[in-house]
Every structure is written in structure tokens, then in C-alpha cells.
Amino acid sequence: MMTRRGIEWLSLASEDPTQCRMMWLDDPRQPQLVAAGALFDVLAVDQKTGMETFDQLRRRGMPVGAVMVDRGANRMGFFLPAESQQRFEAALSRETATPPQYRILAEGSYVVVPGPMALTGDRFEWLSAPTHSQHGSPLQTVALAVMLAASSELLARADKYGQETADAE
């Protein structure tokens, strides 16, 4: 669940922060459209890769910021410090020559975020809700790049093994 400080911080990315907070008071499950780039960037990946990446980050105790899932689009969004695209891409290119598909939502982009109390099964849900302003550290950005590359490779190998096993039967 999102904290009051998380609500205050995230609502600042909306066109009208006061109205956003009022809407969340009326319906805390209500998703909102907010601007990326000023307070945060969002790394968007497919849900399968994103879930594996999120799981690996958590299991290893690596830093992870806010993370959301959009079940309707089968996508996940990892919140990063604003203007972290270059650092992320540099770290990812050191890990793999064939990165998974991703998109970074930065200045000029918008993202639909879950309400502060989204329920399991809602289209938009927080896996890790913001609890305060997400300044993040460079380590968070690098950890995400490393685990995204590793998770993508793991899933590709598992799919390849599954296909080889199916072909052998």
C-alpha cells in the first residue's frame, strides 16, 4: 500500500496534484495519468520478463523502487530516478549485446499509475508502491539493468529448453 508521502510525491506528477489527491480520497483504487520525466522515469517491459526481474531483485536484496503492473497490456513499469536513461542503457550494454525489448518513459511521456490502494486483480496494481519521493540511487538503476539482462537470458534459455524437449518427444 502506498504511504501518504508516496501519494503526495506521485500526485505531483499529475496535471493537478490537488485534484489527483482528491480523486484518490474518493476512490483509492482509481488509476491516474501522470507525467514521466520530471520526478521519475519508467522502464516498461513485458510482464513475463518484468515479473522475473522483479523477483530476482527482491530475492537478492537488490535495490528496487516503485514497480507497477498493467495486466491489460501485459506490461510492467519500474520507476527510476529522473534522467537515468543513459546510466541504464550503459549498464545494460555492459551486460548483454542482445538486450530484451524495453521502453523508457521519460520527459514528454505519460504513464497510467495504479491508485494508492489498488487490489490484487485490478488492471493496474503496485507490486512495490512508492512510500516516499523516489530519488533512488545509481545502484538501483544499475541493479535493474543487470537483473533485466539476466532475467531475459534465463527466460530465453528456459523457453529454448522447453522447445527442445517438446521437439524430442
- In tens, the pLDDT along 19-47 reads 999 999 999 999 999 999 999 999 999 99
pTM of the complete model: 0.92
User: What confidence tens digit (pLDDT) does each residue in 44-94 have?
Assistant: 999 999 999 999 999 999 999 999 999 999 999 999 999 999 999 999 999
Q: Where are the domains of the chain?
A: 4-164
Half-sphere exposure of 85 (CA within 13 A, CB side): 13
What pLDDT score was predicted for residue 13? 95
Expressed in percent and rounded to 5, the helix, strand and coil fractions of the chain are: 45, 20, 35
**pLDDT at residue 160 is higher than 90:** no
Write the DSSP assignment of 45-98 as a string of letters.
Answer: EEHHHHHHHHHHHHHTT-----EEEETTTTEEEEEEETT-HHHHHHHHHHH-SS
